[in-house]
Structure 1
Amino acid sequence: MADFNKVILAGHLTKIPDVRTLQNNITVASSGIAVNRKYKDKEEVMFIDIVVYGKLAETFGQYTAKGSAVLIEGRLSFRQWEQDGQKRSKHEVIVESLRLLGNKLADNNTTADKKQTNTAEKEERVITDEDVPF
């Protein structure tokens, strides 16, 4: 039997993507994703670390923000390191494919534009007797 390592998740980003360039000029972005699971009357939330490499990392950092809805496809990875003399480890998803389900940045801009438009409309409607030229 062949081994298979594939992860598909849909959820919302838990933090602003941290985009950086490694010494070998590879761009890396890391963030987290919250995935909800509902069953009976309960809801369970899982928080999963994700890592994106290369050109996709640049796009990820540019077009997403905390709260952005995304669909990711990738593979599960296990990373180990030593910090302050203690061995550390964690699982994370290495993202190979990414789809934006709703652009948080665009949604925020649209909301701001609507507020400005509504304010302008209210200001246009307020006319006093002093403003009338005759």
Structure 2
Amino acid sequence: MSINVVTLVGRVGGEPDMKYFESGSVKCRLTLAVRRRSRNAEEPDWFNLELWGKTAEVAGNYVKKGTLIGIKGSLKFDTWKDRNTGADRSSPIILVDQLDLLGSKRDAEAAMMDGSPDHF
């Protein structure tokens, strides 16, 4: 049996990085700052997120720097060869399956007036 589930709640660190492909696919990359539950957690942990399809479009339309979101997804690793040294490199990425727009009631009401749902 294998389990690969990641659940995070935090604030978006920058504007969504959207990429549109000729095939019609849409990809969005975000960074997410998450504070650890400890007395000494001054600096947040940063996670790289990757969203596809409808979830990516929603993020592009409704998520901004500083937005509080919750995500559920799985951990994957992007791998490549370093151009200068030829060494193998990798970077952890959270592949997001579910995006929840959190935040204040006023933010949610404004989003509802725009016709956006809060769970994707």
Instruction: Please indicate, yes or no, whether the TM-score normalized by the shorter chain is above 0.5.
Output: yes
Greater radius of gyration (CA) = 1
Spell out, residue by residue over 1:78-130, the C-alpha distance to the aligned partner (whole angstroms, 9 max, x if none).
11123524433100100000000027xx59x9xxxxxxxxxxxxxxxxxxxxx
CA distance in 2, matches of 1:36, 1:27: 29
Spell out, residue by residue over 1:51-88, the C-alpha distance to the aligned partner (whole angstroms, 9 max, x if none).
00001100111000011000000000011123524433
Query: Is 2:108 the partner of 1:97?
Result: no
Deviation at 1:45, TM superposition (A): 1.4
Q: Kindly, what percent of the aligned residue pairs are identical?
A: 29
TM-score normalised by length of structure 1: 0.70
User: Where do residues 51-70 of structure 1 align in structure 2 (5 Å cutoff)?
Assistant: 51-70=50-69
Report which of the two has the higher share of strand.
Answer: 1
CA distance in 1, matches of 2:55, 2:38: 34
User: Where do residues 22-41 of structure 1 align in structure 2 (5 Å cutoff)?
Assistant: 22-40=21-39
Stretches of structure 1 that go unaligned for 5 or more consecutive residues are 110-134
* Aligned partner letter, 1:69: L
TM-score normalised by length of structure 2: 0.78
* Aligned partner letter, 2:91: K
Assess, with a 3 A threshold, how the Cα gap between structure 1 residues 82 and 11 changes in structure 2: closer, same or farther.
same
Q: Secondary structure at the match of 1:84?
A: coil
Spell out, residue by residue over 1:21-49, the C-alpha distance to the aligned partner (whole angstroms, 9 max, x if none).
12422100001100001323x11510000
Report which of the two has the higher share of helix.
Answer: 1
RMSD (CA atoms): 2.0
* Aligned partner letter, 1:96: D
Query: Is 2:9 the partner of 1:10?
Result: yes
CA distance in 1, matches of 2:15, 2:69: 13
CA distance in 2, matches of 1:71, 1:82: 32
Aligned match of 2:114: none
Stretches of structure 2 that go unaligned for 5 or more consecutive residues are 111-120
Alignment size in residue pairs: 104
CA distance in 2, matches of 1:18, 1:12: 15
